[in-house]
Amino acid sequence: MPTEKNIKPPEKLYEYFEQYKTDCKKSPKKENFYSSRADKQVSIDREIPLTWDGFEIWLRKKNIITRLDHYKSNLNGQYFEYLYIIHAIDKEIYEDKFSGAAAGIFQHNIIARDLGLVDKKILAGDSGSPLIVFKDFRDD
């Protein structure tokens, strides 16, 4: 059963992503905390990373589509022409998270887990078989 594509042509999906990116970066989250130096409550802007979920929510709020799953998974091969756009968006989201964490803008431990990055060491156990030890980023 064919699924209706509400975003046509595929390049329109990337145009929407560019709009989401702009909106996301110009609308930071507020972090509120007490400053003993200023002796008052202060608020600072915190940039937020680009995400697929954030993009999907943005599309839903704009009444464009409610789900990106079919486009991303190429449901029944019906979204093949969108794959290069999906790949490009995926790379931009990855790069935004990675470079943001590397620059200290985002929490590196959360982003590392989200991106599937892990520090791995292989050690030999008593029997000579390898033990795999994963560095827990929460300890940083």
21-43 per-position pLDDT tens digit? 999 999 988 888 888 888 889 88
Residue 138, SS3? helix
pLDDT digit string (tens) for 100-123? 888 888 777 777 777 777 766 666
Assigned CATH for 1-106 = 1.10.132.80
pTM of the model: 0.74
Boundaries of every domain in the chain = 1-106, 107-140
